[in-house]
């Protein structure tokens, strides 16, 4: 794809790109809605990417081609980006990212760019974060800024929060930046620590798209405020806590009577997810794939009963996993309310399992769900051509 995006650049702009970057999509493995609660996430960068070939130009006009999204070259002025998106245009992800760079004092040149992507759009694999991170990588290379994963992730998040209006955490950007081949990313969101842990051997992740579009804004923000509300309640009993990450399951259970039922369930999901991330690390040490997979099922149960961010299509996909001896474990991945489920399978059985699930799902819902067999992949990078 590197050659393809460089060729697209040359054909479109009749000159050579000077910077190349790529950034992968991501899958959340465990740790659902924990990132904005200063908690823990196990995720992975996957082998589908946004690729950018770029060259700075004189003047103010940026020109961008991205055939997967729009057939024609689009342009905008680098000096007239504004502070928030006024429509649903995909260029907003570029503009919002540029705006965040500008807000940090970086003087940005206008540019021409060609963009290709193999990250499925609107499928819960963070195509938007991979676009943001690929652009940030290009500009860090161009401006010769030292790579700083936390800062780069915050720039991408700033685009989502400030420009797009999606109040998301840092996990998508972190995973795209910090991924490594054959590894999961273990991240922590108070001090922004990140490390990698080796993926159990001979394991693939099979992704199925429920086909239910997840517009995260409303429910996501609602869940976020319920988590904040639960911290306020818990502070009355544990004054030293700052977030749900400071609470364990026993401490939470001890205060159940002081909670509105729904708010308690939200907190239970988040605290349970933090616990499951740590239990997963123990499973990896013991090479206990089955135990790890069980945690995925538990996570999904908690999404159904506590966080209420699943839907019947996702539940059906996870039920298939339960009843099939080809799959170790499965759960919804990402924000939820639609989007994707991930299924942990032995690599040599991945294709069989994939077609079995697609057929079974089609019998019930009348269409074949998009599906991808994913491997953990290297995180984002840029290079000068």
Which residues, 134 to 193, sit near ligand GLA by CB under 6 A? 168-169, 171-172
Q: Which is nearer to ligand GLA, 81 or 171 (CB)?
A: 171
Q: Which is nearer to ligand GLA, 142 or 155 (CB)?
A: 155
User: What token pair was written down for 180?
Assistant: 């490594």
Q: Is residue 118 packed enough to be buried (19+ CB in 10 Å), middle (13-18) or exposed (0-12)?
A: middle
Closest approach of ligand GLA to the CB of residue 372, in Å: 17
Closest approach of ligand GLA to the CB of residue 221, in Å: 11
Closest approach of ligand GLA to the CB of residue 230, in Å: 16
Q: Is 334 in the site for ligand GLA (CB under 6 A)?
A: yes
Contact 10, 16 (CB under 8 A): yes
Alpha-carbon distance 145 to 106, whole Å?
Answer: 10
Q: Which is nearer to ligand GLA, 300 or 349 (CB)?
A: 300
172 is catalytic: yes
Cα 74 to Cα 63, 67, 113, 378, distances in angstroms: 6, 11, 10, 30
Diameter over CA atoms, the chain: 68
Q: Is 132 in the site for ligand GLA (CB under 6 A)?
A: no
Angle at 61 between CA 165 and CA 162, to 5 degrees: 10
Catalytic residue among 172, 288, 315, 370: 172
Q: Annotate each residue in 30-69 with x if it binds ligand GLA (CB under 6 A) or - if it does not, as one string.
A: --xx-xx---------------------------------
Alpha-carbon distance 237 to 352, whole Å?
Answer: 52
Alpha-carbon distance 273 to 248, whole Å?
Answer: 11
Which residues, 68 to 127, sit near ligand GLA by CB under 6 A? none
Q: Which is nearer to ligand GLA, 42 or 317 (CB)?
A: 42
Contact 267, 258 (CB under 8 A): no
Closest approach of ligand GLA to the CB of residue 286, in Å: 26
> What is the torsion angle, in degrees rounded to the nearest 10, for the CA atoms of residue 247, residue 253, residue 255 and residue 258?
120
Closest approach of ligand GLA to the CB of residue 335, in Å: 3
Closest approach of ligand GLA to the CB of residue 314, in Å: 14
CA atoms within 13 A on the CB side of 169: 25
Q: Which is nearer to ligand GLA, 117 or 128 (CB)?
A: 128
Residue 224: closest CA among 28, 30, 31, 37: 37
Alpha-carbon distance 257 to 332, whole Å?
Answer: 29
Closest approach of ligand GLA to the CB of residue 311, in Å: 15
What angle separates helix 149-158 from helix 127-142, to the nearest 10 degrees? 120
Alpha-carbon distance 382 to 10, whole Å?
Answer: 18
Number of residues this chain uses to bind ligand GLA (CB under 6 A): 11
Q: Which is nearer to ligand GLA, 98 or 164 (CB)?
A: 164
Q: Which is nearer to ligand GLA, 28 or 313 (CB)?
A: 28
Residue 172: closest CA among 136, 125, 209: 125
User: What token pair was written down for 273?
Assistant: 């997810």
Site for ligand GLA, rule CB under 6 A: 28, 32-33, 35-36, 168-169, 171-172, 334-335
Q: Report, as residue numbers or ranges, the catalytic residues.
A: 172
């Amino acid at each position: 794809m590197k050659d393809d995006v460089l060729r697209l650049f040359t054909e479109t702009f009749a000159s050579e790109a000077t910077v190349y970057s790529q950034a992968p999509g991501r899958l959340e493995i465990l740790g659902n809605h924990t990132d904005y609660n200063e908690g823990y996430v196990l995720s992975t960068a996957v082998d589908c990417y946004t690729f950018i070939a770029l060259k700075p130009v004189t003047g103010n006009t940026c020109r961008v081609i991205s055939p997967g999204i729009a057939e024609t070259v689009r342009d905008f002025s680098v000096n007239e980006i504004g502070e928030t998106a006024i429509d649903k245009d995909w260029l907003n992800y570029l503009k919002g990212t540029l705006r965040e760079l500008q807000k940090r004092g970086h003087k940005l040149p206008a540019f021409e760019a060609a963009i290709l992507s193999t990250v499925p759009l609107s499928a819960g694999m963070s195509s938007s974060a991979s676009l943001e991170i690929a652009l940030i990588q290009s500009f860090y290379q161009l401006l010769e800024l030292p790579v700083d994963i936390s800062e780069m992730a915050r720039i991408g998040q700033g685009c989502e929060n400030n420009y797009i209006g999606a109040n998301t955490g840092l996990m998508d950007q972190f995973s795209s930046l910090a991924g490594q081949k054959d590894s999961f990313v273990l991240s922590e969101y108070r001090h922004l620590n990140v490390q990698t842990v080796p993926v159990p051997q001979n394991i693939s992740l099979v992704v199925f798209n429920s086909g239910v579009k997840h517009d995260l804004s409303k429910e996501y923000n609602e869940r976020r405020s319920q988590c904040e509300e639960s911290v306020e309640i818990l502070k009355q009993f544990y004054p030293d806590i700052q977030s749900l990450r400071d609470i364990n399951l026993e401490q939470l259970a001890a205060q159940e009577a002081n909670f509105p039922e729904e708010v308690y369930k939200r907190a239970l999901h988040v605290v349970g997810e933090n616990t499951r991330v740590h239990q997963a690390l123990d499973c990896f040490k013991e090479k206990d794939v089955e135990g790890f997979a069980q945690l995925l099922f538990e996570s999904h149960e908690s999404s159904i009963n506590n966080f209420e961010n699943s839907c019947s299509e996702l539940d059906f996909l996870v039920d298939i996993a339960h009843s099939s001896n080809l799959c170790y474990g499965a759960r919804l991945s990402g924000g939820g309310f639609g989007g994707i489920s991930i299924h942990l399978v032995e690599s040599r059985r991945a294709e069989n399992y994939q077609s079995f699930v697609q057929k079974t799902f089609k019998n019930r819902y009348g269409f074949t769900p998009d599906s991808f067999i994913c491997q953990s992949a290297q995180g984002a990078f840029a290079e000068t051509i």
